[in-house]
């Protein structure tokens, strides 16, 4: 099938995925690693296409002109692949050391840059700036010693994104696993929310998502 250039819907994109991607190969990949392997949940492609579509529509990417997007921690690659099918250009980053996620990204057609986000460390350089940066199911704010990002470390990340990766007026979306969440730091932290608000962020209603529109 050919995608409707006027704006395909989620069902169209999932049908397109089944026509263009090898789901039998996906079953073999997931079966090899098993359900207990870290990241195995991302092997359920249709589930994650549906989950990431929610973010696509929140950002208006389903009816937007082409945007340059950076995904910090793409996991299985579902968000940027949906965005690419909609005509956007996407780059992604994934932490090294998880061969299952590597295979899932190859299966879906993504080639993320291997990089582990750390406190007070700049992101890799790219040859262009981005209209939008997203980070979903955030866990990078959890440090190796079990602590979480301080406000100063969050400021460092926001400054790096604004100065070195986003176009003027560029947007940032941060998606947390939940209140407290797997990362140990969620949107139940008033000081963190205050920092985000000062930088242009607002929490979307009924979502564990903060949108900076734009990042200040």
pLDDT in tens, 121-178: 999 999 999 999 999 999 999 988 888 899 999 999 999 999 999 999 999 999 998 5
**This prediction's pTM:** 0.93
Domain assignment present for residue 201? The answer is yes
Domain of residue 135, residue span: 10-212
Closest CA to 137 of 51, 43, 17, 33: 51
**CATH at 83:** 3.40.50.150
Residue 2 lies in a domain: no
**153 within 8 A of 188, measured Cβ to Cβ:** no
108 belongs to a structural domain: yes
5 in a domain, yes or no?
no
7-51 confidence digits (pLDDT tens): 689 999 999 999 999 999 999 999 999 999 999 999 999 999 999
The reply to whether 1 falls in a domain is no
Q: How many CB atoms lie within 10 A of CB 57?
A: 13
Domain count along the chain: 1
């Amino acid at each position: 099938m050919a995608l409707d250039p006027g704006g395909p819907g989620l069902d169209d994109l999932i049908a397109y995925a089944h026509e263009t991607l090898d789901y039998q190969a996906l079953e073999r990949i997931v079966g090899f690693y098993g359900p207990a392997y870290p990241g195995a949940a991302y092997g359920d492609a249709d589930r994650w296409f549906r989950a990431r579509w929610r973010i696509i529509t929140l950002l208006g990417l389903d009816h937007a002109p082409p945007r340059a997007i950076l995904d910090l921690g793409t996991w299985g690659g579902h968000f940027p692949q949906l965005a690419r099918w909609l005509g956007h250009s996407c780059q992604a980053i994934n932490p090294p050391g998880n061969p299952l996620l590597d295979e899932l990204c190859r299966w879906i057609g993504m080639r993320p840059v291997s990089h582990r986000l750390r406190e007070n460390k700049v992101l890799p350089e790219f040859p262009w700036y981005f209209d939008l940066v997203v980070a979903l199911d955030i866990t990078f704010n959890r440090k190796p010693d079990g602590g979480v990002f301080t406000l100063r470390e969050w400021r460092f990340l926001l400054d790096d994104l604004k100065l070195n990766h986003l176009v003027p007026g560029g947007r940032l979306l941060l998606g947390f696993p939940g209140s407290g969440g797997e990362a140990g730091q969620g949107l139940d932290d008033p000081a963190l929310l205050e920092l985000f608000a000062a930088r242009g962020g607002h929490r979307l209603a009924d979502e564990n998502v903060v949108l900076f529109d734009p990042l200040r």
